[in-house]
Amino acid sequence: MKTMRFLSMAALALVGAMMTGCSSDDDILQPENKTNVVTLTATVGFDDGVAATRAVTGTGVKTFADGDQMAVIYKNTSNETVKAVGTLTSGAGTKSGTFTFTLTNPNKKQTVTYIYPAAMAGTTGVDYSKLNSQSSGTLTDLGSKYDLATKSGSWNGDNLPSLTLNNKLAILAINLKNGSTDITSTITGMTISDGTNNYAVSGISSASTIYVAIRPTSSATIYVTATDGTNDYVKKLASKTYAKDNGYSVTWNMTKPEKVVWNNTNVFNSSNEITIDKFNTTATFENVTISFTGSGAASHFYIYSDAFGSQLFVNGSQGGAYTFTAPSGKIFTKIEIINSVAVTFTPYGDWTKPENNKIMWSGAASSTVTLAASGFVNCPNVTSIVYTMMNE
C-alpha cells in the first residue's frame, strides 16, 4: 500500500484592530450590554520548502484557494459559545493565507478554537456528521469541505493566538476493481463503514480516483459498498488502521453481493397467507426474517391475503416497528421494498424513498435493520422485497 503524508498547518499569526462605537454615556447606562465588535486578520502559514498546490495532493501538500473559509469558535462576554467565519483575503495558491474575522463581545479570558475548512464547523465545534454525506469524491471538494485541521488556544492579549493546526482525519484515495477490470470511473455512489462511522459519497461522476475523508481507525473491520446505478459491489476489509494526518492510496477488488428476493413467485402468494401484527410477530422465508415489535394493532405485514394482497403498514405513533434479520453469517447492505402503486413514507435515518413506489435502506452494513417512523409507513401493494447481503 502506498502511503501519502499530509502536512499539518504551521504558525497561525494574528494581527488585530479593535473597533468600538460606544460613548461614555453608553458605558454608564449599559455597561453589560455594550457591543464590542472586533475585526481581526488571521494569517495562516504552512511549512517552508513545500511546493504550492491546492489542499490535498498525491504528495500531501496543503495550500489556500480563492473563497477558502476558516471558522473560529469563541466565548462572548455572556459566556455563550459563538462561531465566526473568516474568508481568505490574500494568499491563494500559497502556503500562507490571510483571513478576516468579525467577533462580537469576545471574552478574552476564554480559549478559542480554529476549524479549517469552515465547512466542518458546527455552531459550537467540529461537526463530524458532515463526513457522513460527502459529495462528488473529488480532490477539490475534499480539500474545500472535509480536510479538517483544528487547534485550540488562549488569547494573546488583545489578539487571537498564534497556533499550529493539526490534521484530524485520514484521507483515502480509492480505486476499485472487479477482477481485472477497473470500475472506478463507473461508480456513482459509495459507502464506507467502520462499524461506528458511516461515510456515504454521492454524485460521483467518471472519477479516475475517489477521495474520501474518514476518522482514524485502528485494527477496524471496514465494509465497503459501491454502485454504478445498475450493479452493486461489496468488500470486507479486516484489521485496517488508517491514522490521522496521513493519506492512503488504496485499490480494493470488489465483488457482487448476494441477493434474496421475495416476490409473488416464492413468498407473496396464496400459499403463504400470513399476517404479521401484534398477534403474529415473526415469519422467515429463504432464511431472512421479518418481525414486528410494538403495541399498535394497526401495524401489520400481510405476506399474502385474498382481501389485501401483500401489504406492509407501520403505525409509528403506536410504537410499531419491523426488524429484518439476515441469515446467519450474512449482513445487509441494502433493503428495497417495491410496490405496484405509490407508497406513503417520509424518509428518515438510513431509509429513503428513491422512487414513488419504493422505499430503501442503505445504511452501515448490519445483520439487523429496523423500519419504524414517528408517523407511519404505508406500502399498500408490495410486489417484492430485495435483500442485498454480503458475508459478515
pLDDT band at 35 (very low <50, low <70, confident <90, very high): low
Cβ 160 vs Cβ 215: under 8 Å? no
- Full DSSP string of 76-105: BTTS-EEEEEEEEEE-TTSSEEEEEEEEES
Provide the number of structural domains found in the chain: 3
Tens of pLDDT, residue by residue over 292-314, are 887 666 788 889 888 889 999 88
**Which 3 state secondary structure label does DSSP give 169?**
coil
- Residue 50 CA to residue 59 CA, distance in Å, equals 10
**Which 3 state secondary structure label does DSSP give 237?**
strand
pLDDT at 190 over 90: yes
- Residue 208 CA to residue 198 CA, distance in Å, equals 23
Q: Which residues have a Cβ under 8 Å from the Cβ of 75 and sit 6 or more positions away?
A: 81, 82, 106, 107, 110, 111
Q: 159 and 27, same structural domain?
A: yes
Assign residue 136 the CATH number of its domain.
2.60.40
Cβ 71 vs Cβ 7: under 8 Å? no
Tens of pLDDT, residue by residue over 131-161, are 999 999 998 899 889 989 888 999 988 888 8
Q: 185 and 157, same structural domain?
A: no
What integer pLDDT is reported at residue 187 of this predicted model? 97
Give whole-number Cα distances, 207 to 169, 181, 186, in Å.
Answer: 22, 15, 8
What integer pLDDT is reported at residue 38 of this predicted model? 63
Q: 93 and 128, same structural domain?
A: yes
pLDDT at 24 over 60: no
Q: Of 148, 167, 186, which marks where a domain is finished? A: 167
Q: 154 and 197, same structural domain?
A: no
What integer pLDDT is reported at residue 18 of this predicted model? 24
pLDDT at 50 over 50: no
Q: 162 and 18, same structural domain?
A: yes
Dihedral Cα 21, 23, 29, 33, nearest 10 deg: 10
> Residue 15: what are its φ and ψ, rounded to 5°?
-120, 125
Cβ 103 vs Cβ 86: under 8 Å? no
Q: Of 243, 269, 303, which marks where a domain is finished? A: 243
Residue 249 resides in a domain? no
Q: What is the mean pLDDT of residues 74-83?
A: 96
The answer to whether the bond into 117 is cis (omega within 30° of 0) is yes
pLDDT at 54 over 60: no
Q: 290 and 183, same structural domain?
A: no
- Residue 73 CA to residue 64 CA, distance in Å, equals 21
pLDDT at 228 over 90: yes
Q: 152 and 6, same structural domain?
A: yes
pTM of the predicted structure, to 2 decimals: 0.79
Q: Of 111, 132, 167, which marks where a domain is finished? A: 167
Residue 248 resides in a domain? no
Cβ 232 vs Cβ 256: under 8 Å? yes
Give whole-number Cα distances, 163 to 46, 160, 172, 188, 325, in Å.
Answer: 11, 9, 27, 39, 50
Q: Of the given ranges (45-49, 110-114, 195-199), which has the lowest mean pLDDT? A: 45-49
Q: 147 and 28, same structural domain?
A: yes
pLDDT at 46 over 70: no
pLDDT at 80 over 50: yes
Residue 255 resides in a domain? no
Report which residue type is found at 251. T
Which has more confidence, 38 or 118?
118
- Residue 277 CA to residue 266 CA, distance in Å, equals 21
pLDDT at 39 over 70: no
Residue 252 resides in a domain? no
Q: What is the DSSP letter of 162?
A: P
Q: 157 and 17, same structural domain?
A: yes
Q: 211 and 314, same structural domain?
A: no
b (16+ CB within 10 A) / e for 47-78: eeeeeebbbbbeebbbbbeeebbbbbbbbebe
What integer pLDDT is reported at residue 333 of this predicted model? 93
Could you tell me the residue range of the domain that residue 217 belongs to?
175-243
Q: 186 and 149, same structural domain?
A: no
What integer pLDDT is reported at residue 217 of this predicted model? 96
**Which 3 state secondary structure label does DSSP give 139?**
helix
Q: What percentage of the chain exceeds 70 in pLDDT?
A: 83
Q: 229 and 155, same structural domain?
A: no
Residue 251 resides in a domain? no
